[in-house]
Amino acid sequence: MTNVLIAGVGGQGALFAGRVLGRAAIQAGCDVKISEVHGMSQRGGSVETVVRFDREKVHSPLIDKGGADFILALELLEAYRSIGYLKNGGWLIASTQRIDPMPVITGVASYPADIVEKLTKTGARVKALDALSLAIESGGAKMANVVLIGVLAGALAGDLAIAKEDWLTALRQAVPEKLLAMNLKAFELGHNWRENLGEIQTI
Amino acid sequence: MSPKTLMLGNEAVARGAYEAGAAVASAYPGTPSTEITENLAKYGEIFTEWAPNEKVALEVSLGASIGGARAICAMKHVGLNVAADPLFTASYTGVGGGLVICVADDQGMHSSQNEQDSRQYARASKILMLEPSDSAECKQFVKRAFALSEQFDTPALLRLCTRVSHSRGLVEMEEREKPAPKEYVKNPGKYVMMPAMARARRVAVEERTRALREFAETTELNVVEYYDRSIGIISAGIAYEYVKEALGEKASYLKLGVIYPLPARKIKEFFESVRVCYVMEELDPFIEEHCRALGLAVIGKDQFSAIGEYTAAQIRETVLGQPPDQTPAASEPLPARPPVMCAGCPHRGVFYALKQFPGLTVMGDIGCYTLAALPPLQMMDACVCMGASIGMAHGMEKAAESSGQLSGRERAAKTVAVLGDSTFIHSGITGLIDVVYNKGTSTVIILDNSITGMTGHQENPATGYTIKGEPTRQVDLQKLCEAAGVDRVTTVDPFDLDTLRKTIKEELAAAEPSVIIAKRPCALLKKVKREGPYRIDADKCLRCGSCLRIGCPAITKANALTTATAGALPAIDLTQCAGCGYCARVCKAGAIAGAMAPAVTRTGGGDPA
Ligand SMILES: Cc1ncc(C[n+]2csc(CCOP(=O)(O)OP(=O)(O)O)c2C)c(N)n1
């Protein structure tokens, strides 16, 4: 069973990233369950999408604390918030983008400093990348989600691997024709970034 | 075998209705049920509509069923409160073509004002209820529900919940059935529910319930799975998936697909075949109470909460005594991230204007604008259910009048009711009629953003388009209010702060009912042109903090590592700004300008961007 948690802020495209991953896993012949967030939280609140896939039947669409093989975080504070879901030996891949929540904007709370260092200190395996810049390089800030999907595609190795063609098929199914080229580029940039993960294939 | 598709539970419900040959669908949106209807609308063969509210939706569906078609309607749990009136008597009339009523509960209140358990409605109205636990079952159960509805001459409720409606799973597609067309048959004894006829139907309902009970004993919708018999689990819906995940083959299961009526013999037999027996169900002890009435000492709410959602970890801990794994944690309390009004939201203008009236009471309502209850706007005193704002404002005025502390007029001069366009049509209009009829003087603000926003952009009677995107006759809100007897109706742009402030002041002072229509389309609508992001000129900025107080998620302090607002330089986030320019309007220093100028993106947790 592979469990991926995608954490972010409503509007960042965590849902879409989950669907691409789900479709890719189906292409690879797996059973898949995805739990999505619709409604109130989509208005700029914290959102978590869970994707679970396996050769066997998948039951619950949710995971418990300590259940995620991978966490993809689209925003740093949300990366920090989600850390409890990471499995021992799992990987947290975080975009360094920062979006201040309303309590920070109104001045009743402050945005934690040095999140990446603090996450690393918990003993978790953490990698941070500037997915937003890579997204802008591929044509639009909205595609940071696809950059992270690209990173994940490169990172899933061994038993967990999904063939690259399966990812590309999933993207072609999910993205409207006129945005496809940009999305494929974002995916590639993420996929290439994977080299920075070093020892990740040992998971 | 056709290939399997990854479908949302709600999408699978729609697919099931399509395959069952459904011909008519009517609904009012409500999270987590909305996508059922949005997906039904994609099938050309099914007439699909958004109704003004759930009561109408159920009545349309019942009419279609009596007319001979297979019909479906969908709503969220609280929607069934609105539709409860036709529901209870549809139980007596029964159906012509199959009638399926989907109702989606929201354990954990992800997007709702309460956490009610719709299963109680099935029992109270004596209507068959099925409950699927994943997308594949959603499709399969809807089809069964149509068939059973016709077989037993009953409406069929399909109970869903957030985690079933909004989870995706694999679903196999099949062909659409072509149920033999049924003619409408005039039958007043069955369809005219006045006392004499209803008494006869009341008896038919009891007979039907007996027959359904017998059906529940034998149907394969209630499944027993034997593994280890030292633990027995009676469960249904999403709770079954959690418990199966948690316990696997360490327990045996009775999974109930039929929630009402519940079987007796089947449950007893299962209870007796296991050593200890748990009932695992979120919310009310519905199945548990049934078991207790049968004299079975099951374990249920004494060990599991009636509040919110269950998790596999919690089930493992309680049933197996397995503590959850130690996991890494943040080393400090983290700022919460509550939902917010979007950048560019027109509602912001209204609440910012209301904030200029000290001591004002705002009777609120349900929609995106409910978010104005949160900081920094904090301009809402009450929010109960759709359409309630107007009646509650009127009640406040009358309370003051009768208590004599404050005259009713003085109270009304400090009170507004605020509600959205969709909410006004849903059930606000009746409140307005009450104000006029009973000589109230309330001021009502309708936030007309040309869409049903909170539930994800559905057309409504005031937008001029149908669910299929076809242009249609549009309700004229101004004329509607006038026809109800309101002489003072004004339409204002919510971003025109001065005019809006002046209008609110005048209407509060007027000794008669008045309506202000704050009209500007939702910033997320495709037709709304987006200007480039705005930017703040650091040299001109007085650091007064005004722009930070409008509650726009795109404007924050350039260095948010400190909590100080006063003296902080604000910055606009390129990825968030919708280019609405409202901040530029409230900036007294003229330091905020539109478009072109390069704005900032923010990364990392430290440096000012
Ligand atoms: C009886 C009932 N039906 C449906 C809902 C779900 N719901 C919450 S807000 C809303 C729509 C609000 O639309 P509108 O009044 O136009 O305000 P907007 O969100 O666009 O600002 C709906 C349908 C509900 N809470 N109660």
Cβ neighbours of B455 in A, within 8 Å: 39
Q: Are B478 and B491 in contact (CB under 8 A)?
A: yes
Distances (CA, A) of B214 to A127, B58, B203: 59, 28, 17
Interchain CB distance below 8 Å, B604 and A33: no
Indicate whether B156 and B77 sit together in one domain: yes
B320-327: average pLDDT: 92
Q: pLDDT digits over A100-127, tens only?
A: 999 999 989 999 999 999 999 999 999 9
Asked whether B94 lines ligand 1 (CB < 6 A), one says no
First-to-final CA distance of chain B: 56
Strands B252-256 and B222-225 turn out to be antiparallel
What's the pLDDT score for residue B595? 65
Find residue B232's DSSP bridge partners: B252, B277
A158-182: average pLDDT: 93
B404-416: average pLDDT: 88
Residues whose CB is less than 8 angstroms from the CB of residue B356 and which lie 6 or more positions away in sequence, other chains included: B501
Interchain CB distance below 8 Å, A107 and B564: yes
Interchain CB distance below 8 Å, A78 and B337: yes
Domain endpoint, select from B186, B218, B250 = B218
Interchain CB distance below 8 Å, B376 and A105: yes
A69 Cβ under 8 Å from any chain B Cβ: no
d(CA B607, CA A148): 24
Residues whose CB is less than 8 angstroms from the CB of residue B566 and which lie 6 or more positions away in sequence, other chains included: B543, B545
B436-456: average pLDDT: 97
Single-letter amino acid code for the residue at B242: Y
Alpha helices in B366-407 (DSSP H): 388-403
Q: Is residue A107 part of a domain?
A: no
Indicate whether B278 and B376 sit together in one domain: no
Domain endpoint, select from B519, B546, B563 = B519
CA A39 to ligand 1 center in whole angstroms:
11
How far B398 CA sits from the closest chain A CA (Å)?
34
pLDDT band at B264 (very low <50, low <70, confident <90, very high): very high
Q: Is residue B334 part of a domain?
A: no
How far B367 CA sits from the closest chain A CA (Å)?
9
For chain B, the domain total comes to: 4
**Among B346, B326, B371, B593, which residue's Cα sits nearest to residue A102?**
B371
Interchain CB distance below 8 Å, B335 and A61: no
Say yes or no: ipTM exceeds 0.85: yes
Indicate whether B214 and B229 sit together in one domain: no
Cβ neighbours of A41 in B, within 8 Å: 110-111, 339
- B424 CA closest ligand 1 atom index: 15
Domain containing A187: what range?
2-102+113-194
- Ligand 1 pocket check: which of B111, B115, B345, B422 to mutate, most ligand atoms within 8 Å of Cβ? B422
Whether residue B217 is predicted with pLDDT greater than 90 in this model: the reply is yes
Asked whether B37 lines ligand 1 (CB < 6 A), one says no
Cβ neighbours of A136 in B, within 8 Å: 601
d(CA A26, CA A49): 17
Indicate whether B302 and B399 sit together in one domain: no
B453-471: average pLDDT: 97
Least confident of B25-39, B196-210, B228-242, B517-531: B517-531
Domain endpoint, select from B218, B245, B278 = B218
Interchain CB distance below 8 Å, B329 and A103: no
pLDDT band at B608 (very low <50, low <70, confident <90, very high): very low
Q: Is residue B340 part of a domain?
A: no
| Model pTM score | 0.96
Take atom 10 of ligand 1 and give the residue whose Cα is closest: B367
B11, B337, B549, best to mutate vs chain A, most A CBs in 10 Å:
B337
What's the pLDDT score for residue B405? 73
Q: Is residue A199 part of a domain?
A: no
Q: Is residue A152 part of a domain?
A: yes
Asked whether B367 lines ligand 1 (CB < 6 A), one says yes
d(CA B233, CA B270): 9
What's the pLDDT score for residue B236? 98
Find residue B277's DSSP bridge partners: B232
Say whether B308 sits in a helix, a strand or coil. Answer: coil
pLDDT band at A39 (very low <50, low <70, confident <90, very high): confident
CB-nearest partner of B111 from A40, A81, A119: A40
C-alpha dihedral (B589, B591, B595, B600), degrees to nearest 10 = -140
What's the pLDDT score for residue B250? 98
d(CA B489, CA B477): 9
Whether residue B600 is predicted with pLDDT greater than 60 in this model: the reply is no
Take atom 7 of ligand 1 and give the residue whose Cα is closest: B30
Q: Are B131 and B4 in contact (CB under 8 A)?
A: no
How far A198 CA sits from the closest chain B CA (Å)?
22
Q: Is residue B326 part of a domain?
A: no
Q: Kindly provide the residue ranges of all beta strands, DSSP E only, lying in B236-393, ordered along the sequence.
A: 252-256, 258-260, 276-280, 361-363
Indicate whether B438 and B384 sit together in one domain: yes
Find residue B223's DSSP bridge partners: B255
Indicate whether B50 and B75 sit together in one domain: yes
CATH value at residue B564: 3.30.70.20
**Among A117, A13, A160, A59, which residue's Cα sits nearest to residue B311?**
A59
B303-326: average pLDDT: 96
Indicate whether B182 and B155 sit together in one domain: yes
Asked whether B106 lines ligand 1 (CB < 6 A), one says no
DSSP state for residue A175 in the 8-state scheme: S
H-helix or E-strand spanning residue A31:
strand A31-35
Q: Is residue B609 part of a domain?
A: no
Strands B514-519 and B443-448 turn out to be parallel
Interchain CB distance below 8 Å, A113 and B563: no
Burial of B204 (0-12, 13-18, 19+ CB in 10 A): middle
Asked if the bond preceding B261 is cis, omega within 30° of 0, the reply is: yes
Neighbours of B359 (CB within 10 A): 5
A182 Cβ under 8 Å from any chain B Cβ: no
What's the pLDDT score for residue B437? 98
CATH value at residue B204: 3.40.50.970
Say whether B228 sits in a helix, a strand or coil. Answer: coil
Indicate whether B494 and B468 sit together in one domain: yes
Whether residue B605 is predicted with pLDDT greater than 50 in this model: the reply is no
| Percentage of residues in chain B having pLDDT higher than 90 | 89
What's the pLDDT score for residue B407? 87
Q: Which two tokens stand for residue B370?
A: 């409910």
What one-character-per-residue DSSP string does B444-494 give?
EEEEE-SSBTTTT-B--TTTTB-TTS-B-----HHHHHHHTT--EEEEE-T
Q: Is residue A124 part of a domain?
A: yes
Q: Helices B135-152 & B9-19, crossing angle to 10 degrees?
A: 40
How far A49 CA sits from the closest chain B CA (Å)?
10
What's the pLDDT score for residue B575? 84
d(CA B602, CA B592): 19
Across chain B, mean pLDDT equals: 94
Whether residue B570 is predicted with pLDDT greater than 60 in this model: the reply is yes
Residues 150-179 of chain A whose Cβ lies under 8 A from any Cβ of chain B: none
Whether residue B607 is predicted with pLDDT greater than 50 in this model: the reply is no
d(CA B219, CA B221): 5
Distances (CA, A) of B432 to A65, B421, B427, B443, B504: 49, 13, 9, 10, 17
- B460 CA closest ligand 1 atom index: 16
CATH value at residue A190: 3.40.920.10
What's the pLDDT score for residue B609? 30
What's the pLDDT score for residue B606? 39
Q: What are phi and psi of B296, to 5 degrees?
A: -100, 125
pLDDT band at B597 (very low <50, low <70, confident <90, very high): very low
Indicate whether B352 and B492 sit together in one domain: yes
Indicate whether B294 and B417 sit together in one domain: no
Q: Is residue B341 part of a domain?
A: no
Q: Is residue A202 part of a domain?
A: no
CB-nearest partner of B339 from A10, A36, A105: A10
CB-nearest partner of A36 from B167, B335, B605: B167
CATH value at residue B269: 3.40.50.920
Indicate whether B361 and B497 sit together in one domain: yes
Q: Is residue A188 part of a domain?
A: yes
Whether residue B444 is predicted with pLDDT greater than 90 in this model: the reply is yes
CA B51 to ligand 1 center in whole angstroms:
13
Whether residue A37 is predicted with pLDDT greater than 90 in this model: the reply is no
Q: Is residue A43 part of a domain?
A: yes
For chain A, the domain total comes to: 1
Whether residue B563 is predicted with pLDDT greater than 90 in this model: the reply is no
How far B532 CA sits from the closest chain A CA (Å)?
14
Q: Which two tokens stand for residue B97?
A: 């073509």
Interchain CB distance below 8 Å, A118 and B330: yes
A4-16: average pLDDT: 95
Neighbours of B179 (CB within 10 A): 18
pLDDT band at B2 (very low <50, low <70, confident <90, very high): low
Question: How many interface pairs between A and B have CB atoms less than 8 angstroms apart?
Answer: 237
Strands B488-492 and A125-129 turn out to be unpaired
| Percentage of residues in chain A having pLDDT higher than 70 | 97
Asked whether B366 lines ligand 1 (CB < 6 A), one says yes
Domain containing B357: what range?
347-519
Which is higher by pLDDT, A38 or B299? B299
Indicate whether B381 and B427 sit together in one domain: yes
Q: Is residue A200 part of a domain?
A: no
What's the pLDDT score for residue A158? 80
Q: What are phi and psi of A138, to 5 degrees?
A: -85, -5
Q: Is residue B527 part of a domain?
A: no
Interchain CB distance below 8 Å, B325 and A31: no
DSSP state for residue B262 in the 8-state scheme: P
Residues whose CB is less than 8 angstroms from the CB of residue B600 and which lie 6 or more positions away in sequence, other chains included: B571, B572, B573, B574, B609
What's the pLDDT score for residue A198? 65
pLDDT band at B601 (very low <50, low <70, confident <90, very high): low
A9, A37, A38, best to mutate vs chain B, most B CBs in 10 Å:
A38
Interchain CB distance below 8 Å, B605 and A84: no
**Among B507, B522, B525, B516, which residue's Cα sits nearest to residue B477?**
B516
Cβ neighbours of B577 in A, within 8 Å: none
CA B520 to the chain's CA centroid: 23
d(CA B22, CA B468): 17
